[in-house]
Amino acid sequence: MISNDVFPTIRTGSCALDDVGLPKRIIAISDIHGMSGHFDRLVSSLDEIEELEDAAFYILGDMVDRGPDSRGVVNRVIALMDRRKGSLTFIGNHDMWFLRFLRDELDPYEIDMWLTQGGKETLESYGASLAETLASARRLVIEAAPGHCAMLEAAESIALIGDFAFVHAGVDPLRPLDRQSREDCAWIRSPFMRHEGRLSHVVVHGHTPQKGKRPTITENRISIDTGAVYGGLLTAAIIDREHRRLDFVATDGGSIARSDPHRLDRGFGTALEDFTVNQFVGKRFA
Give the model confidence (pLDDT) of 225-266 as tens digits.
Answer: 999 999 999 999 999 999 999 999 999 999 999 999 999 999
**Of 65 and 11, which is predicted with more confidence?**
65
Answer yes or no: is 175 within a domain: yes
Q: How far is CA 281 from CA 55, 62, 245, in A?
A: 13, 26, 10
- Confidence at residue 150, expressed as pLDDT on a 0 to 100 scale: 96
- Confidence at residue 132, expressed as pLDDT on a 0 to 100 scale: 86
Which parts of 150-244 are beta strand (E)? 158-161, 164-167, 202-205, 216-217, 221-223, 234-240
Q: How far is CA 60 from CA 136, 158, 274, 279, in A?
A: 30, 9, 24, 24
Answer yes or no: is 134 within a domain: no
Q: How far is it, in rounded angstroms, from Cα 33 to Cα 135?
A: 24
Answer yes or no: is 244 within a domain: yes
Answer yes or no: is 179 within a domain: yes
Give per-residue pLDDT as tens, 111-137: 999 999 999 999 999 999 888 899 999
- Containing domain of residue 238, as a range? 25-92+155-277
Q: For the residues of 29-94, what is the DSSP string, one character each?
A: E---TT-HHHHHHHHHHHHT-GGGTTPEEEE-S--SSSSS-HHHHHHHHHHHHHHSTT-EEB--HH
Answer yes or no: is 141 within a domain: no
The CATH number of whichever domain residue 69 belongs to comes to 3.60.21.10
Tell me, yes or no, if the pTM score tops 0.85: yes
What domain count does the chain have?
A: 1
Q: How far is CA 52 from CA 2, 43, 106, in A?
A: 37, 11, 40
- Confidence at residue 276, expressed as pLDDT on a 0 to 100 scale: 84
Query: Cα 128 vs. chain centroid, distance in angstroms?
Result: 25
Answer yes or no: is 41 within a domain: yes
Answer yes or no: is 79 within a domain: yes
Answer yes or no: is 18 within a domain: no
Give per-residue pLDDT as tens, 44-102: 999 999 999 999 999 999 999 999 999 999 999 999 999 999 999 999 999 999 999 99
